[in-house]
Structure 1
Amino acid sequence: MGDMVIVNCTVVDGRAADGVGPIRDAAVLVRGERIAAVGPSEDVLAQAGDTRRLDLGGAHLTPGLVNMHTHLSLSLPGPAGEGVKGMGPHDLALYMADGARRTLRCGVTTVRCVAEKDHADFALRRAIESGRAAGPRIFTAGRALVCTGGHGHDGTDTLECDGPDEFRRGVRGQIKAGADLIKVMISGGIAGEHERIDTPQLFTDEMAAVLATAHAWGRKVTAHAGPAAVIAEAVRLGLDCVEHGYELTPEVAAAMAERGTALVPTLLVTRCKAFFDELGVPEWMQRRSLGAGPRHLESYAMALAAGVPVLLGSDMPPFWLFEGTNATVRELEHMSQAGLGPAGALHAGTLGPARWLGAEADLGTVETGRYADLIAMDADPLADTSAFRSVRWVMKGGEVVRDDLAGRPEA
């Protein structure tokens, strides 16, 4: 796309929760993939010279969203899921590439994949990085580690392990393939017919082996986990992040906050009947999921009260059209409405994830030196998180990938 200066916008980013206010009548100078300057228009334009200008028509400009719980090869129980499971490697790669393209267009410029089939995520990441496919920046765990018969064991997006030695080997295998982090299933969940949400699935020595090995290689560990007792033990051993956290207690939430263990609550997964119906998800799973909803929301409230870092993650495909928007925005709305508020939600969807990923020097804010991963919307996300429903312009790495108003080049 070449260098450009973005004008006629209000810049808002994840530092709002830290007291950094919006920049009104702002401009952003983009050179190559990165932001070269940002500030009041008069100051930035003086640096920009005759650089091409792009008028956003008074939009609010924020960093692109970061979805920390994605499965581009998701296959839940039911006919739709069986269709994905039955795909050959070529079909699967194209299916995931289409999902990545849709994800980027809805304003999610970075994802954290937490279990993908057949290591196709690594091929997709290479294709996106080389420009052969359109999609968000990908941080991935590769295949999730499970015990024999554990949560998600029946898919090629998991690797069955038993005993500390096998779990160590599993961690090393994912790192060898190129994993940025490790995902481990330490309890049952809503999608396993022969388990309960509160079923413990790893012994202490197995969990300790995963954590010690991953940390020795400089990788964080996130865990699919529901019950408080299982989470408490993992947090004590050094767990970096909890996925779901369906049944927290105030005591466990306090321990998470003290140790800096983040929570990706995925509130959508216990309040998405229309999505389940669309996929033909069986009744047993719908009952378990929707029945867990009230307790799930209580757990989330406990985490907020304790000061646990909470991060955006939809579990549903990020781009999926759901309740008048996409799954990523709907999840962020739930997080905001259930106590986080608009400024906190903006942080949870941008700077918070970037910090967890160790990528805050590149992502998460609209600052000089960061990647020009930007989205624009007409409404103010600090007034109402539903502003993200009005995203109409998306840039990734200095390239405009969506422009509903055809750019409005300034005269």
Structure 2
Amino acid sequence: MSQLLANCTVLDARVLDGMPPQKDAGVWVTGDRIAAVGPYASVAAAARKAGPVVERDLDGAFVTPGLANMHTHFSLSLPGKGGDRVKELGPHDLALYMADGARRTLDCGVTTVRNVAEKDHADFALRRAIEAGRVPGPRMFTAGRALVCTGGHGHESGDTLECDGPVGFRHGVRSQIKAGADLIKVMISGGIAGEHEGIATPQLFADEMAAVIETAHAWGRKVTAHAGPAEVIGAAVALGLDCVEHGYLLTPEVARAMAARGAALVPTLLVTRCKEFFDELGVPEWMQCRSLGAGPRHLESFAMAVEAGVEILLGSDMPPFWSFEGTNATVRELENLASALGPARALHAATRGPIDWLGASADLGTVEEGKYADLIAMDGDPLDDASAFRDVRFVMKGGSVVRGSE
């Protein structure tokens, strides 16, 4: 039986391309796909003519594609007591812990995630379970384990793989692809969570970075890099890097190079302004000082990227569902982006932009005929204020209602 989402205004990131909001609209869903979108009267007539239909009155809600979070860790374990508890989980407990995070993420309206380092390849099992319908969760695009040099950023945990030299990094790329990776993540500098490094510490030589990028591209995989300093980022972008995570210390010149070469930025603005989250996890003082101290320069870097026209994509780093500052981490990051981008571009950064980067735009990212019915609804207009996403009250993934009235 098909479904009809009625009495709603349909928005999606095509508004940036001149697609106006569709008011008094209907969205007809058959199976897991959208069969039609348009004026309610005509869509309803077509749906009823085709056979029995369940009509869901959304009472004037605004409908958008489900959100996409491009920097997700379901097995995150930062330094401190909270992270230690995750590190101590056995493989069975870890799988259940991650499955709970996936369920909570979907319930927030995040229907697609890009996992950029998960422990012990448990992400592949979770992805299979979600695809098989055994557990609820978002669509997962995952990097498997991130590649690091010996002793490099994040080496302390099972969500990374230590490699050295061009041959070692080529093997690392191939090992993750063999396991089922959709993309490759590599740590090319230090960061805020490494006690014996600095944010600006370079960690790969040029031949190692080239080996990662060349090998991944040969296998049809994009590469994203944890990176802070401009010099390291600029060198990687010149080699063909597809995306930068964080970018704490950009310069205008490197930002312009990113824009020219089509390298996206996932700025993860939350990670340098989240003392409440750090306190909750018992993160040690040295990391809190480094992270929060980097905040002003981080914002300057973000502004440089925006000014240069770099493609900005939403990613929270903090678990997508985490309750933070009156909402969840994904929406709080979206609000941070909107403060510089404006609501319409922030919507793009949270929906169509990520899906385009993932190469999944044939199926996801907009509300239109033929695409998966991954939809969310809220009462406020997110083109007026991105904080409307704080009040998502309806979530559908692949035609199945996850949250909201049946």
Show the 5 A alignment for 1:163-242: 163-242=165-244
Cα deviation code 1:130-162 (max 9, x no counterpart): 010000000000000000000000100000000
Query: 1:20 deviation in Å?
Result: 1.0
Query: 1:384 deviation in Å?
Result: 0.2
Query: 1:19 deviation in Å?
Result: 1.8
Could you say which residue in structure 1 is the equivalent of 2:46?
47
Could you say which residue in structure 2 is the equivalent of 1:395?
396
Could you say which residue in structure 1 is the equivalent of 2:318?
316
Cα deviation code 1:268-298 (max 9, x no counterpart): 0000000000000000000000000000000
SS of 2:194 mapped into structure 1: coil
Q: Equivalents in 1 of 2:76, 2:192: separation in Å? A: 14
Q: Equivalents in 2 of 1:52, 1:81: separation in Å? A: 45
What letter is aligned with 2:80?
A: G
What letter is aligned with 1:347?
A: H
Show the 5 A alignment for 1:104-183: 104-183=106-185
Cα deviation code 1:174-232 (max 9, x no counterpart): 00000000000000000000000000000000000000000000000000000000000
Q: Equivalents in 2 of 1:310, 1:113: separation in Å? A: 17
In the alignment, which of 322, 325, 328 is matched to residue 327 of structure 2?
325
- State the 4+ residue runs in structure 1 displaced beyond 3 angstroms: none
What letter is aligned with 1:90?
A: H
What letter is aligned with 2:18?
A: G
Could you say which residue in structure 1 is the equivalent of 2:345?
344
Counterpart contact for 2:306–2:341, Cα < 8 Å? yes
Gaps of 5+ in 2: none
SS of 1:115 mapped into structure 2: coil
Q: Equivalents in 1 of 2:137, 2:232: separation in Å? A: 35
What letter is aligned with 2:29?
A: V
What letter is aligned with 2:376?
A: I
Is 1:377 aligned to residue 357 of structure 2? no
Q: Equivalents in 2 of 1:306, 1:21: separation in Å? A: 26
Cα deviation code 1:342-373 (max 9, x no counterpart): 00000000000000000001111000011000
Cα deviation code 1:45-83 (max 9, x no counterpart): 121114221100110000000000000000000001000
Q: Equivalents in 2 of 1:312, 1:18: separation in Å? A: 19
Query: 1:35 deviation in Å?
Result: 0.3
Counterpart contact for 2:150–2:163, Cα < 8 Å? yes
SS of 2:393 mapped into structure 1: strand
What letter is aligned with 1:341?
A: G
Gaps of 5+ in 1: none
Could you say which residue in structure 1 is the equivalent of 2:5?
6
What letter is aligned with 1:382?
A: L
SS of 1:318 mapped into structure 2: coil
SS of 2:365 mapped into structure 1: coil
SS of 1:52 mapped into structure 2: strand
What letter is aligned with 1:118?
A: D
What letter is aligned with 2:352?
A: L
SS of 1:309 mapped into structure 2: coil
Q: Percent identity, aligned pairs only?
A: 76
Counterpart contact for 2:2–2:47, Cα < 8 Å? no
What letter is aligned with 1:177?
A: A
Q: Equivalents in 2 of 1:90, 1:313: separation in Å? A: 27
Cα deviation code 1:220-267 (max 9, x no counterpart): 000000000000000000000000000000000000000000000000
- Normalised to the residue count of structure 2, the TM-score between the two structures is 0.99
Q: Equivalents in 1 of 2:205, 2:39: separation in Å? A: 56
